[in-house]
Amino acid sequence: MSRRKPLSKQVIVITGASSGIGLTTARMAAARGARVVLAARSRDALAEARAEIERAGGQALDVVADVGRREDVQAVADAAIATFGGFDTWVNVAGLTIYGRLREISDEDHARLLQTNLWGTVFGSLVAVEHLRRRGGTLINVGSVASDLAFPFQGMYAASKHAVKGFTDALRMELRDEGAPVSVTLIKPTSIDTPLPERARNYMDREPTLPPPIYRPEVVAEAILHAAVRPQRDIFVGGSGKALVAMKEFAPGAFDLLAPAIIALQKRAKPPRRPEGALHAATEAGETHGTQPLYAMRTSAYTRASLHPVAVMAGAIGFGLAAAAVSIVGSSISRRDPS
């Protein structure tokens, strides 16, 4: 796909911008000169994020919105157009999860999760595309490694992310068929150190956490901002996620046998702190990182390689040539001085 405008020339809309990946992406985009539109349910957290960006010399607009309501999403697009004349990249980040056995979770909670994770992405994508098809630009949907895998005790979350992948792939194909100048990227993060577990609806008798390995949200934000300029079809964040997907494709039965381990890795030793979470009502936000007890990695070699394959290949070739040169020199010295 063709290269888009540099970030410093772009207006970027980000949903779920009050915490986690969304807030991290907004801060990084603004630091690189983009004008950002922040959308989420948490009014105070959005206002603080906007003020922080403006204090640093950036330009930002905050719009309170529930992405599960199409009229709210349309209001975000309208505000971006009224303030900045339009937008170049739209990023659907907003999402929540539920921990617990599927049979124990209420229909109301299941429906609310789907309203945010799936319908929020659908509404954001369709509203964004109506604007972008006229001027060109990029749509970025944040799915998950759960777009390709199922995780027990986060079953409906996995179902929502499977649906996001199917929707995103179908929309991309339709836009291509129409010749619309819109690039569509699906980001698939593995476990990310965000407040997602703390804000989850929790049916377990333990505080939830994420299975390792865990990556910092900056790794995801870097992938998102890369796609805003150099669109790619899919980007896995974290090589471990890609490896699990490959394992599941190769031996699905073996992956199913991991269920007890996956369930255990989603539970902390302490009792649940706030089981209701933020599923039905906005709670305090403003945090980019969570409280997971495990170390969060600052980079992913696999993701870096997938974002810069030419550079990685050049580096590998360069390393190979250097190794060959050393070998030739060593061999020459060896022939001259047998001792």
Let me know if 195 is exposed, middle or buried by CB neighbors in 10 A (0-12, 13-18, 19+).
Answer: buried
Q: What CA–CA distance (Å, rounded) separates 14 from 27?
A: 11
Q: What CA–CA distance (Å, rounded) separates 281 from 100?
A: 19
Of 303, 294, 165, the closest CA to residue 221 belongs to 303
**H or E segment and range at residue 119:** none
Catalytic residue selected from 99, 157, 203, 215 = 157
* 13, 120, 126, 180 from 94: Cα distances, Å: 12, 7, 15, 25
Rg (CA), the chain: 22
The pair of structure tokens assigned to 56 is 């640093």
Concerning whether 99 is annotated as a catalytic residue, the answer is no
Residue type, 139: L
The pair of structure tokens assigned to 205 is 């008798």
**The residue to which tokens 């949903």 are assigned:** 15
Strand partners for 184: 139
Task: Return the number of other C-beta atoms located less than 10 Å from residue 302's C-beta.
Answer: 16
The pair of structure tokens assigned to 193 is 């150190």
Give the residue numbers annotated as catalytic, written as ranges. 157
